[in-house]
Chains A and B, each alone.
Chain A
């Protein structure tokens, strides 16, 4: 599903050019559960941003289901994110003014899903993550674990091909982390492709494949390359 080759990303910081990715190659097949691990500054977050269509590589190619994402326009990237990708962030990124239900509806609003259908699907998703009774609560009325479940429900709203999670348990205690990881396991068992960026070995241990980053390069891959 994902094929990246020679992916480079450099940022200009003042007068210096900082390399975040130095030519990474990676393939991810549909239905995989990949943990991208590495110390901070290793380039794993940059990789996730590019995979999710939030950022463009400086060089190299990124193909998603055969499409060359690196050549997309801003609008094409927006449509790509909306249709193909679900994001889960460390800091949940829920909109505080909206209820859990409205937060889950948001990606479908941009997808042009009619109101009734949107609400029905949002309710279904919140029930799926165990928050049915709390659908009308605002983020401030929910615990961290509950907020992350709402965020996961939101990420699933438009039936993405790929769920990208950036340190999804970084702001949670051990117990809730386990619950979230269990949920990820279930989602993957249901056929969803997951890529999780983490520096937590316990999280990485849950994944079925681990890819290690260091200084913008892949230094280890315990499954070896898998044909897309």
Chain B
């Protein structure tokens, strides 16, 4: 007995009832399509989050003021502005620190040559580009001298340039913040894509002091800082640098042992890991729900296989009479169940991949059908076919040939 002959018998029975076979497979089609789509969405979302977090800068520690005075109305992070220029300068002297970038932020209306654009203006030091992994597309970044001299210069993100001047080269042009003119000396390279729904190219950088005095005015103390970005020299240094930074600022702020920090530090690696873990959990959950439909599909196959065994009792008896072994009958029916399930798996895989690509388009993230979803889907549908085909096949193989031949 050649096993491929049994495959032929199984396919013969499937194509003999095309409509019934299609409906039987439908459950597995839906189950596999759902599992493929859910895992693809999970992987796509995970990649998008990694990209977004990665685009904030690598090896990065973010220091922000802590929530203050619990019990009073919370004013949100940064409201207390416990951080100062001096903290940033002290951090810069620590080992393993590649760059330190203190930042103040304000929202302002920029105007130039009759065009207006509202954007986030950030007061930064020249090291900001290093800390945030930003690069210039043209022009130059302001340096320490520009900052010391209090020059009103700006480096703009591509979105701001496009909104104010279209395609024209903005270097050397004037842009006004309220009534104060700034000179555009550089344009940032695009960061592309959007992270967390924000356009990262919609940004204007100016020296810290200029932003404090000209954009934020009296709303901020002259040495206050809202955020300090600390870039470690190496990913392996990240945890140690984070500890050192925490110790240093506690010292700077004269915080006694046992007292709470008036600031907080977060490191990008742990933020990334936490969000990845959250997405992974979510993906597993979604896939598990989808897998339930796969089980339902399997029950459908079992049901139809039981019907088929009953319908074909005489056929089974005859096959036994002409010399089929019980194992031949078992394998024939098991193959039939697996073929039904596998066909459903293949169709479901195609639908799932197309669906995942479609959803990725809608969600505007790179379509991410993981390469293992193919083998996974086909493996799962084979297993479903085997599990749910086992009992009907066993029933077929256990039939008594005399009884079976007599059955009408």
Contacts and interface: CB of A to CB of B under 8 A. Distances in A.
15 contacts: A54-B320, A54-B321, A54-B405, A75-B325, A75-B327, A78-B320, A82-B323, A87-B321, A87-B322, A95-B315, A95-B318, A109-B1, A110-B319, A110-B322, A157-B322
Nearest to B325: A78
A107 B2 CA distance: 13
Contact of B324 (A49, A54, A83, A110): A110
A79 B318 CA distance: 14
Nearest to B16: A97
A52 B323 contact: no
Contacts of A136: none
Nearest to A96: B315
A112 interface: yes
A202 interface: no
Nearest to B12: A97
Interface in B286-320: 314-315, 317-320
A106 B325 contact: no
Interface string B15-42: 0100000000000000000000000000
Interface of A: 49, 52, 54-55, 74-75, 78-79, 81-83, 87, 89, 93, 95, 97, 106-107, 109-112, 154, 157-158
A78 B323 contact: yes
B137 interface: no
Contacts of A89: 405
B292 to A, nearest CB: 35
Contacts of A82: 322-324
A31 B323 CA distance: 23
B interface, by DSSP: helix, strand, loop or mixed?
A: helix
B325 A93 contact: no
A82 B365 CA distance: 62
Contacts of B1: 109-112
A28 to B, nearest CB: 20
Contact of B321 (A52, A97, A157, A158): A52
A82 B320 CA distance: 9
Interface string B364-408: 000000000000000000000000000000000000011001000
Contact of A75 (B315, B326, B405): B326
A81 B327 CA distance: 15
A49 B323 CA distance: 14
Nearest to A166: B405
A111 B315 contact: no
Given A54-B401, A97-B12, A111 B325 contact: no
Given A95-B315, A110-B1, A81 B323 contact: yes
Contacts of A112: 1-2
Contacts of B317: 93
B262 interface: no
Given A54-B401, A54-B402, A93 B314 contact: yes
Given A75-B326, A93-B314, A157-B322, 14 more contacts: A78-B323, A78-B324, A78-B325, A79-B325, A81-B320, A82-B324, A83-B323, A93-B321, A95-B315, A97-B13, A97-B16, A107-B322, A110-B323, A112-B2
A96 B317 CA distance: 14
